[in-house]
Structure 1
Amino acid sequence: MEVDTELRQTLHRRGLRMTPQRQLVLDAVSELGHATPEAVCTRVQATAPAVNITTVYRTLDLLEQLGVVKHTHLGHGAPTYATSEHEHVHLVCHHCGRVDEIEADALDALAGALRESHGFRLDATHVALSGTCRDCADSADAELAEETP
């Protein structure tokens, strides 16, 4: 795995090493896709029961500092983590909780406008947009149609 080799080299340059716990956390994030620290911990503990949630949080923080993982807030709960190559925008339905993904370049026009007007550089890969999914919107529209005489 190319990321694993690069991560080992980066850790080595910082005087750190790839511990089994770090490898397990990285593997769990890769396997789970979008994962809360608690879900990562549960996955890691299936193999290494002695690893606690504090170790998982510290490892996720280190991996994020190294650019290997990113976190996104998909709602009011804990952040979710994904590997850094997993770059997209999340669309979160605040009715049913469904999470869809779109390409980050869908926000290019917004990113350009923000940069032009405010000098702000948007990291669209770190974004979750809240709204109503198609199914919930269609249901709401159908209910309104039934109520209208």
Structure 2
Amino acid sequence: MSRVDAALRALRDQGERVTPGRRAVLEILDATEAHLDAEAIGAAVAEHAPGVHRATVYRSLQSLSELGVITHTHVPGSATIYHLASGDARHHAHTHLQCTQCQRFFDLPADDLEPMRESVRKRTGFDIDTCHAALLGTCSDCREG
């Protein structure tokens, strides 16, 4: 079963409608490894499914996020980026790292931050959601260049 089919089934299982806008958003997110924000998704949907209005794309992103079918990551000083929530091993839960100099994104398996999460949890009782916001830093290319 494709990732889009799995997401559509998840919608139906929750009693939600599968609309052309929702389907188009899911297809765009499935077709790329890029870190797309709402504006880029809207532009891609306009090419892929010209009948879907841009406002529908924004509403679809919000509802699909609330339903857990897609995930979003807040990027400090930039737009929120989106991914399909389910998928195969190459689409695992991951943390986003962003270089503050060149703005490139790097994906890191969320499990890599588990020792830090556990340390913070033990010391403060606070549970960090390592996938919800991008971590900022400087990539090796920018540090060396």
Q: TM-score range, shorter-chain basis?
A: 0.7 to 0.9
Pair 1:98–1:78, CA change in 2 (3 A): same
Say if 2:128 is the partner of 1:136: no
Structure 1 equivalent of residue 112 of structure 2:
106
TM-score (ref. length: structure 1)? 0.82
Which structure: larger Rg?
A: 1
**1:125 alignment partner, SS class:** coil
**1:90 alignment partner, SS class:** strand
| Structure 2 gap ranges (5+) | none
1:30-85, CA deviations, whole angstroms, 9 ceiling, x for partnerless residues?
A: 22342111111111111332323321111111111111111112341210101113
Give aligned pairs, total.
135
Q: Report if aligned partners of 1:93, 1:133 keep a CA contact under 8 Å in 2.
A: yes
Q: How does 1:1-149 map to 2 (within 5 A)?
A: 1-10=5-14, 12=15, 16-33=16-33, 34-85=35-86, 86=91, 87-139=93-145
Q: Report if aligned partners of 1:37, 1:53 keep a CA contact under 8 Å in 2.
A: no
Q: 2-side partners of 1:118 and 1:53: how far apart?
A: 43
Alignment RMSD? 1.6
Q: 2-side partners of 1:78 and 1:47: how far apart?
A: 22
Q: Percent identity?
A: 38
Q: 2-side partners of 1:44 and 1:67: how far apart?
A: 20
**2:131 alignment partner, SS class:** helix
Structure 2 equivalent of residue 143 of structure 1:
none
Once superposed, which parts of structure 1, at least 4 consecutive aligned residues long, lie more than 6 Å away? none
Q: Report if aligned partners of 2:25, 2:60 keep a CA contact under 8 Å in 1.
A: yes
1:17-38, CA deviations, whole angstroms, 9 ceiling, x for partnerless residues?
A: 1011111111112223421111
Q: 2-side partners of 1:29 and 1:130: how far apart?
A: 23
Q: 1-side partners of 2:126 and 2:32: how far apart?
A: 32
| Structure 1 gap ranges (5+) | 140-149
Higher share in helix? 1
